[in-house]
Every structure is written in C-alpha cells, then in structure tokens.
Amino acid sequence: MAIRMIVIDPDEVLHKTAKAVSVVTPNVKKLLDDMADTMYDAEGVGLAAPQVGILKRLIVIDADEEHGLIKMINPEIVSTEGEQLGPEGCLSIPGINGDVRRAETVTVRGLDREGKEITITGSGLLARAFQHEIDHLNGVLFTDIAEKIYEMTADETEE
C-alpha cells in the first residue's frame, strides 16, 4: 500500500465530475487500498479519488464502528431521510470548517472492491461522510454548500 498526495483546493481536479468505473481491475483495487492508507495517515474519516488527483468514482469511509472501513466503487445515494446541520472539514481544504445541512440518514448503493453490488444505510456521521464524499465525485466541495464557513483555531487543528 502507499500514501498518496492529497490534492488541495483550488486544484481544478476537485471541481470536475469523476468518471464511472466500468471494470474492477487490480489497479482499481490498489487505488482503493492506497486511498484508505492515505485517509488513515491524514486522520480523516473519508476520501474520494479526486482528492488524490484521480477522476474515478471511488470512495473510502471509516466513520463508525458498525460498518468499519467501507471501500465503494460508483456509489450513488438511492434514498435520504431527515435532516442534520453540523460541522464539516475536508482533507483538501485544511484549516477550514463549515456548517453544512445534510440528510440524517442515507442509503447508498455501489460496488465493493470485488465488484459485487452492495447497499449500505447509515445515519449521523456515516450519512454525512457518504454525502460529502459523493459530492467530491461530482466536483462539489463542502465550502460550495456550507451555510457558514470558519477557520479552525490552532487548538482545533492539533486535535
């Protein structure tokens, strides 16, 4: 596995739409593994392929103990329920947080790293992470939709 360089806004790749993955190849599996390593190294809870400079519809998320590490290919939100307003940050936008309104619960369908269809329903932080990472695949950053944006203090960035 390898740690990849995280692309920082305003890099144009973060504002483009990622392409669907048509075949799950060994390179796709390696990229998913590298993305997970990169996410953990950066102490994040999610990462999308555009954040490592690759315009493919791939995400990795580790936002709750129930689901653990999720590696998903071509994820799409198939249903939403409720609403939450809360803080978000992004590995591609260091030092900035924002209050973003999201669905409280989402159901997401896609493929696992073996190419098998999976459907996951998550609430709270997992739902927020799914929506945030899928937005990345569509060239949308949390700062594009935040109701309020603020800089993190030095204490917050050290936590």
Q: Is 25 flagged in the annotation as binding?
A: no
Check the annotation: does 82 bind a ligand: no
The catalytic position among 66, 133, 147, 151 is 133
Q: Residue 136 annotated as binding?
A: yes
Beta bridge partners of 120: 108
Q: Is 65 an active-site residue?
A: no
Q: Which residues are catalytic?
A: 133
Residue numbers in the known binding site are 90, 132, 136
Residue numbers in the known binding site for Fe cation are 90, 132, 136
